[in-house]
Amino acid sequence: MSSQPTTFATTDVSDAHPDGQVCDPVFQIFGGVVAFSGSIATLKVFEDNTLVKQAVEGPGEGRVLVVDGGGSTRCGLVGGNLAVSAATNGWAGIVVNGCIRDADELAAQPLGVRALAAMPRKSRRGLHSGQAGIPVVFAGAVFRDGEWLCADRDGIVVLPEAPAPG
Protein backbone atom coordinates (compact mmCIF):
# COMPACT_ATOMS: atom_id res chain seq x y z
CA MET A 1 0.00 0.00 0.00
CA SER A 2 1.59 3.27 -1.02
CA SER A 3 -0.66 5.87 0.60
CA GLN A 4 -0.77 6.22 4.36
CA PRO A 5 -4.37 5.80 5.58
CA THR A 6 -5.86 8.78 7.41
CA THR A 7 -6.36 8.06 11.07
CA PHE A 8 -9.38 9.22 13.02
CA ALA A 9 -10.06 9.45 16.75
CA THR A 10 -13.36 7.72 17.50
CA THR A 11 -14.07 10.35 20.17
CA ASP A 12 -13.76 13.17 17.61
CA VAL A 13 -15.82 11.28 15.05
CA SER A 14 -18.51 10.58 17.65
CA ASP A 15 -18.56 14.23 18.81
CA ALA A 16 -18.85 15.49 15.25
CA HIS A 17 -21.52 12.91 14.33
CA PRO A 18 -23.85 12.48 17.29
CA ASP A 19 -26.21 10.42 15.12
CA GLY A 20 -23.44 7.97 14.27
CA GLN A 21 -23.52 4.49 15.75
CA VAL A 22 -21.21 3.72 18.65
CA CYS A 23 -20.68 0.03 19.34
CA ASP A 24 -21.13 -1.40 22.80
CA PRO A 25 -17.70 -1.85 24.44
CA VAL A 26 -17.58 -5.63 24.14
CA PHE A 27 -14.44 -6.07 22.03
CA GLN A 28 -10.86 -6.90 22.85
CA ILE A 29 -8.06 -5.38 20.82
CA PHE A 30 -5.98 -7.82 18.76
CA GLY A 31 -3.81 -7.30 15.70
CA GLY A 32 -0.69 -5.21 15.25
CA VAL A 33 -2.63 -2.04 14.41
CA VAL A 34 -4.79 -0.46 17.10
CA ALA A 35 -6.47 2.35 15.12
CA PHE A 36 -7.99 1.60 11.74
CA SER A 37 -10.88 2.65 9.54
CA GLY A 38 -12.42 1.85 6.20
CA SER A 39 -15.45 0.91 4.22
CA ILE A 40 -17.34 -2.09 5.63
CA ALA A 41 -17.67 -5.51 3.98
CA THR A 42 -20.01 -7.80 5.93
CA LEU A 43 -20.16 -11.55 6.49
CA LYS A 44 -22.57 -13.61 8.56
CA VAL A 45 -21.20 -17.01 9.57
CA PHE A 46 -21.54 -19.50 12.40
CA GLU A 47 -18.55 -21.53 13.59
CA ASP A 48 -17.45 -21.99 9.97
CA ASN A 49 -14.84 -19.63 8.55
CA THR A 50 -15.03 -20.64 4.88
CA LEU A 51 -16.33 -17.23 3.82
CA VAL A 52 -13.84 -15.42 6.04
CA LYS A 53 -10.95 -17.24 4.36
CA GLN A 54 -12.43 -16.50 0.94
CA ALA A 55 -12.84 -12.80 1.77
CA VAL A 56 -9.33 -12.21 3.13
CA GLU A 57 -7.81 -14.03 0.16
CA GLY A 58 -9.41 -11.40 -2.09
CA PRO A 59 -8.57 -7.71 -2.45
CA GLY A 60 -9.24 -5.72 0.72
CA GLU A 61 -8.83 -2.29 -0.86
CA GLY A 62 -8.52 -0.71 2.57
CA ARG A 63 -11.85 -2.10 3.75
CA VAL A 64 -12.82 -3.48 7.14
CA LEU A 65 -14.22 -7.01 7.18
CA VAL A 66 -17.09 -7.19 9.67
CA VAL A 67 -17.81 -10.81 10.59
CA ASP A 68 -20.95 -11.61 12.54
CA GLY A 69 -20.07 -14.97 14.05
CA GLY A 70 -23.25 -15.05 16.11
CA GLY A 71 -21.25 -14.26 19.24
CA SER A 72 -20.02 -17.84 19.48
CA THR A 73 -17.10 -18.34 21.83
CA ARG A 74 -16.67 -21.99 20.91
CA CYS A 75 -14.05 -21.52 18.17
CA GLY A 76 -11.72 -18.97 16.59
CA LEU A 77 -12.85 -17.67 13.20
CA VAL A 78 -9.62 -15.83 12.35
CA GLY A 79 -6.13 -17.15 13.05
CA GLY A 80 -2.58 -16.41 12.01
CA ASN A 81 -2.89 -17.61 8.42
CA LEU A 82 -6.02 -15.62 7.72
CA ALA A 83 -4.49 -12.54 9.35
CA VAL A 84 -1.46 -12.80 7.05
CA SER A 85 -3.77 -13.09 4.03
CA ALA A 86 -5.83 -10.10 5.17
CA ALA A 87 -2.79 -7.89 5.74
CA THR A 88 -1.16 -8.99 2.48
CA ASN A 89 -4.31 -8.31 0.50
CA GLY A 90 -4.84 -4.80 1.85
CA TRP A 91 -7.61 -5.24 4.41
CA ALA A 92 -7.45 -2.47 7.03
CA GLY A 93 -9.02 -4.57 9.74
CA ILE A 94 -11.38 -7.31 10.85
CA VAL A 95 -14.13 -6.99 13.46
CA VAL A 96 -15.45 -10.33 14.71
CA ASN A 97 -18.59 -10.94 16.72
CA GLY A 98 -16.94 -14.13 17.90
CA CYS A 99 -13.40 -15.25 18.63
CA ILE A 100 -9.96 -15.25 17.09
CA ARG A 101 -7.04 -17.59 17.73
CA ASP A 102 -3.25 -17.34 17.35
CA ALA A 103 -3.37 -14.03 19.23
CA ASP A 104 0.43 -13.61 19.15
CA GLU A 105 0.50 -14.14 15.38
CA LEU A 106 -2.27 -11.60 14.91
CA ALA A 107 -0.32 -9.08 16.98
CA ALA A 108 2.57 -9.43 14.51
CA GLN A 109 0.46 -8.45 11.51
CA PRO A 110 -0.12 -4.88 10.22
CA LEU A 111 -3.86 -5.34 10.62
CA GLY A 112 -6.52 -4.10 13.01
CA VAL A 113 -8.49 -6.87 14.73
CA ARG A 114 -11.34 -6.72 17.22
CA ALA A 115 -13.05 -9.79 18.64
CA LEU A 116 -14.88 -10.86 21.75
CA ALA A 117 -12.07 -13.12 22.93
CA ALA A 118 -9.30 -15.50 21.96
CA MET A 119 -10.12 -19.21 21.74
CA PRO A 120 -7.77 -22.03 20.70
CA ARG A 121 -10.32 -24.31 19.03
CA LYS A 122 -10.49 -23.98 15.25
CA SER A 123 -13.71 -23.42 13.37
CA ARG A 124 -15.14 -25.68 10.70
CA ARG A 125 -14.99 -25.19 6.95
CA GLY A 126 -17.30 -25.94 4.10
CA LEU A 127 -20.67 -26.02 5.81
CA HIS A 128 -21.90 -23.52 3.19
CA SER A 129 -23.75 -21.79 5.96
CA GLY A 130 -22.68 -18.16 5.65
CA GLN A 131 -23.82 -15.08 3.78
CA ALA A 132 -21.86 -12.11 2.44
CA GLY A 133 -22.93 -8.51 2.01
CA ILE A 134 -26.06 -8.54 4.16
CA PRO A 135 -26.58 -6.11 7.06
CA VAL A 136 -25.47 -7.66 10.35
CA VAL A 137 -26.45 -6.57 13.86
CA PHE A 138 -24.35 -6.95 17.01
CA ALA A 139 -22.80 -4.88 19.79
CA GLY A 140 -25.78 -2.54 19.58
CA ALA A 141 -25.00 -1.51 16.00
CA VAL A 142 -26.08 -2.32 12.46
CA PHE A 143 -23.19 -2.87 10.04
CA ARG A 144 -24.04 -2.39 6.37
CA ASP A 145 -21.85 -3.16 3.40
CA GLY A 146 -20.33 0.06 2.07
CA GLU A 147 -20.81 2.08 5.25
CA TRP A 148 -17.79 3.29 7.19
CA LEU A 149 -16.21 2.10 10.42
CA CYS A 150 -13.44 3.49 12.52
CA ALA A 151 -11.84 1.87 15.54
CA ASP A 152 -9.23 2.87 18.07
CA ARG A 153 -8.44 2.19 21.71
CA ASP A 154 -11.66 3.95 22.77
CA GLY A 155 -14.01 1.83 20.70
CA ILE A 156 -15.76 1.53 17.35
CA VAL A 157 -17.92 4.10 15.54
CA VAL A 158 -19.97 3.45 12.40
CA LEU A 159 -21.14 6.17 10.02
CA PRO A 160 -23.05 5.97 6.73
CA GLU A 161 -19.95 7.28 4.98
CA ALA A 162 -16.43 8.45 5.72
CA PRO A 163 -16.25 11.93 7.25
CA ALA A 164 -14.79 14.71 5.12
CA PRO A 165 -11.06 15.07 5.77
CA GLY A 166 -9.93 17.82 8.13
Instruction: Output the known binding site for Mg(2+).
Output: 102
- 28 sits near ligand OAA (criterion: CB under 6 A): no
User: Smaller CB distance to ligand OAA: residue 22 or 95?
Assistant: 95
The count of residues interacting with ligand OAA (CB under 6 A) is 9
- 21 sits near ligand OAA (criterion: CB under 6 A): no
Kindly write out the interface string for residues 84-123 of this chain, putting x where it contacts ligand OAA by CB under 6 A and - elsewhere. Answer: -----------------xx-------------------xx
The 3-class secondary structure across the chain, one letter per residue, is: CCCCCCCCCHHHHHHHCCCCEECCCCCEEECCECCEEEEEEEEECCCECHHHHHHHCCCCCCCEEEEECCCCCCCEEECHHHHHHHHHCCCCEEEEECEECCHHHHHCCCCEEEECEECCCECECCCCCCEECCCEEECCEEECCCCEEEEECCEEEEECCCCCCC
Residue with smallest beta-carbon separation from ligand OAA: 79
- 54 sits near ligand OAA (criterion: CB under 6 A): no
Subset of residues 136 to 155 that bind ligand OAA, contact rule: CB under 6 A:
none
Least distance in Å: CB of 81 to ligand OAA?
A: 3
Binding residues (CB under 6 A) for ligand OAA: these are 49, 79-82, 101-102, 122-123
